[in-house]
Structure formats: structure tokens, C-alpha cells
Amino acid sequence: MHEDHCLPPVNAVSDSSSSGEDGGKAFPTGRGKKRKALAGDIEADVRSSRRFDRLKKAVVNGEPAPPVDLRYLVRPHQDSGDSEMRSSVASFLSEIYYSVAETLPDFRDDPEDESISVIVPVDAEEGSEDYDPYGACLQNHQTDTLKAQLAKPKIKKPRKMKGSVDATTGESGREPRWLPPGQIKDYWEQYRQRYRESTFKPASFTLFWRVWLSDYPFLKFRQARQHPECSICIKHKMAIRSLGHHLNARLKQLEEYHNHLHNQYLDRLAYWSSRGVSRSRGNELTIICDGMDQGKFAYPRAPCMKSKDFASWSRPRAHVIGVLLHGRAIVFAVTEPDVPKDSTTHVELLAICLTKLAHDGVQLKELALTLQCDNTVRECKNNTMTQFLASLVSKGVLREATLSSLRSGHSHEDVDQVFGRLSRFITKHGKVAQTPQDFACLIQRFLKEADFPYEPAAKGYVCKIDQTRDW
């Protein structure tokens, strides 16, 4: 190669204004000074980087995850032909909203506090192994600020055709639901795993996070210690995190985890289908039964019980069982603390519900009953309840009867939502309660004031069970 075509040395600097005749010559001296100055500039630039300082501080403090970086996430969204990707992300988030997320509101039970506010469950605490800074940004007070930064710039929009519909219109009006403890990155990997064998290119983590923030802000994570988690989900998550250096094995675990979530979603679809038929008030009836948390029903209940003098008292707790007769009525049973919450109590309550339906004019002989319960063998999922249902069918009281339950760890349903509303009502209005009968009056008042779209308020019923038969 000719010498004239060679690039000049890196440290050679030309200065046309230094001298007249030698303006085109490079400086023959001062190379060491230039190198030191260049190194000093680089070091100054590194030291002045706030992102680098945060990363360095996270490493020094031994934090399990890097600090959140929103520089590229909060840029105004530009419509660059990623509508299909956004639709795929919205479809995935909608599926986990209906299948995995649960309606489990938690309220501060303080009879002396007038301001009743929701305790919004967030992900793991900062500094723990499961802490997700990107998930925390979606659940704290930065949400409105991030949405403002994500707003589209004011540009001329193309004219829309008549009849066009936005796929995500009205999403923000949905009720908040909470996912099991985890990280946004875990759900992004599940989303990518769905299109592993497809030619469709999945969305990046940036777009996935943007869609979650803008269209699904009501989808949150709950605390790890709030409710038990599915053991199968925990096994899959632990296996996925431990296989970071084995790509194929990690992808296989992601596939198995996605199949598990899909199967429990199919179980919910079966229950929702049966519930929808029951709400039409035909010859099929779906009942869901569950017990409520006893912590809200300790008595005597009064502001003076917060005194230190009563801190060591062991107060009795009333038992409350809720039954949703979809499309028909809502029944609550209140029992004394010495009445066991076993199968005989639930059989007694089911007999009360069927008797009430018969008094309302329902033909039980033509009725197909589906009893939905959780996986607690102490209450409904046992031989006592099965034999009782079989006897009703064999004697012609019912046309048919089915006992079903969702998978363990994924059994929270609409009855838990009713329990959450009742907890808030009792916390706000039940400042004083001396006996279980007082709780029964509070629940009856709740049924009259609450709005249930499918169960008429006049059909609400509260019964006080003092003793049960030996079924």
C-alpha cells in the first residue's frame, strides 16, 4: 500500500494555525502528555457517570440485582411498526391477568383508625434475592411520572378508518389483581418461550415493560409472606434460576412452567363456564364455599382493646364461612369458636342452602349441582361431603351432583374477592363487636349495602350455627 494512503498515527494531531509553513505537519513531540490528558479525560468521564457510580455502589454493597435504569424505558414511544408485538404482549398479559393473578386485597384491621386504606402488596423487600427494581417502579408513586414520560410526542397522526377499535381500550378500568411473588423478567421469559418455535419475533424487554406500565398498571406483585404459593410453581422457578448456565435445560424448564400455568388456566375456564351457566338461573347451579380468615373476627372488639393491659389476652375468634350460590344468593354462616370447622359443619351449611332454595321455589329434583371448594380435606374435599352428595342424588333430591376443586396454590377465586370486601366493611364499620351475633348483624348489613351484579341483595342470608348434626 502506498504511503500516502496510510492513516496517520493515533497520537498525531495536526494544527494548521500553529505556524505558517509547517501548518500541515504533525507535532513530533508531546505524545506522552497527550496520552496522559486523554486518559485523564476518560477517567473524568467515567467518574462523572452517575449510572457507573450506582453500578459500582451496588457491587460494593453486594446487592443481588443492578439498580433500575429507566433511560431507555421512559423515552417517548415512537410508532415504528411494532403494533403486532404490542398486541402479542397485551394478549399475554391479559391471559395471566385472568389465569394467574388473584383478587386478594389486604386491609389494615385497626378499629381505632378512621382512614381505611389498602395495603398494596409489593414484591420482595429491597436487598433480598427476589427484589425486582423494575417491578417496584410499576407499583410505587412513580407510575404517573413514568406514564407522562412515555406519552407519545405530538405528531401528525394518520386518519383512522371508521369502525377501528383499540384493543386495549378500557383496560385501566379493571380491578387490581396480584401475581405471585416474582419478577417482570420471569414473565418476559415466559412470553418469549411462547414464540420459541414460531417465526414471529417477540417483543424486547423494553417494549414488554412499556406495555405493562401503560396498559396493565393494575397487574401487581404481592408480598412473599402474604399467602401460600403453589409448590409446583416454586419448584419450576428455583430450577429456572439455578440453570442460568445451561440454556437448553433452562428453556425446557420454562416450557414446563408455562404448561403448568396453562393447565391451571384450563381448570379455571371450566369453573368459569359452569359459573356462567349457573348465573342464567336454569337447571344448573354452581356453588363455591370457603372459610374466611379468623383474624378479623376476634372478640370482644373495641378501641380499648389496643391498650397494653389487654395485649396478653387470648381473645376467642368466631368462625365465618361464605357460600356463593351463583345467580341465586349469598349465604354466610357464623359459628362459635367451639364449633369445629369440619366436614359436618359444611354439610350442615349446604343443607341450609338447599332448604333455602326449595323455599324460594327452586325445583331441586331438576337441579344439577356443582360444588366448588378448595383443597382442604377438613372442610369439603372428603368422604363425608361426597357421601352426602351421593345420598341426595340416590334419593332423588338432586338430579346430579359434582364436587370439584382447582389446583393447590391456584384455588383463590371470586369468593375471596367477597371476603376482601367484607373485611374492609368490618374494619370501617365494625368498631365495636362483643359477640358472634354482632358479627352476624354486621355481615347482614354488608349484604344489604353491597352491590353484587349477579346475586340479588334481597337474597343475602346470614345464619348462626350453634351446633351441627353428626353427618
Domain with residues 281-465, CATH architecture: 2-Layer Sandwich (3.30)
Give the pLDDT score at 250: 87
The arithmetic mean of pLDDT across residues 128-146, rounded, is: 54
pLDDT at 246 over 70: yes
Look at residue 132 in the predicted model and tell me its pLDDT: 61
Among 29-33, 128-132, 206-210, 331-335, top mean pLDDT goes to 331-335
Overall average pLDDT of the 42-66 stretch: 67
State the average pLDDT over residues 25-39. 50
Q: What pairs with residue 301 in β-bridges? A: 433
Highest mean pLDDT among 60-64, 97-101, 405-409: 405-409
Res 325: pLDDT: 92
CA quadruple 153, 157, 161, 166: dihedral, nearest 10: 0
pLDDT at 14: 42
Facing residues of 404 across strands? 372
**Is-contact 176 131, C-beta < 8 A?**
no
Number of Cβ within 10 Å of residue 202's Cβ equals: 18
Contact 296, 426 (CB under 8 A): yes
Give the per-residue pLDDT at 333: 92
Kindly report which listed range (102-111, 242-251, 455-464) carries the lowest average pLDDT score: 102-111
Sheet containing strand 400-405, strands side by side: 400-405, 368-373, 284-291, 319-325, 329-335, 461-465
- Tell me phi and psi for residue 215, to 5 degrees: -105, -20
- Residue range 429-451, pLDDT digits in tens: 888 888 899 999 999 999 888 88
Domain ranges of the chain: 83-153+175-227, 281-465
**Range with the largest mean pLDDT of 113-127, 374-388, 456-470:** 374-388
Q: How far apart are CA 88 and CA 203, in angstroms?
A: 8
Q: Tell me, what's the pLDDT at 172?
A: 53
- What average pLDDT does this structure show over 272-282? 90
**Residue range 214-237: average pLDDT?**
79
Task: Band the pLDDT of 400: cuts 50, 70, 90.
Answer: very high
**pTM listed for this prediction:** 0.65
Chain position carrying cell 428455583: 238
For the cut 90, the answer to whether the pLDDT of residue 399 exceeds it is yes
Q: Given this model, what pLDDT does residue 22 score? A: 45
pLDDT of residue 72: 53
pLDDT for 223: 67
Other Cβ atoms less than 10 A from the Cβ of 118: the count is: 12
**Rounded distance between C-alpha atoms, residue 384 and residue 347, angstroms:** 8
pLDDT tens profile 98-119: 767 776 554 445 444 444 333 3
What is the reported pLDDT for 384?
Answer: 92
pLDDT-derived band at 227 (thresholds 50, 70, 90) equals low
Q: Which one-letter DSSP state was computed for residue 156? A: P
Please report the pLDDT score of residue 41 as a whole number.
Answer: 53
Of 302 and 372, the one with more pLDDT: 372
Average pLDDT taken over every residue of the chain: 75
Above 80 in pLDDT, residue 271? yes
Residue predicted with more confidence, 243 or 350: 350
**Cα–Cα nearest to 70, from 87, 47, 48, 54:** 54
Please choose, from the candidates 265, 248, 282, 462, the residue with its C-alpha nearest in 3D space to the C-alpha of residue 370. Answer: 282
**What's the whole-number mean pLDDT along residues 240-263?**
86
| Run of H or E residues at 352 | helix 343-359
pLDDT at site 16: 43
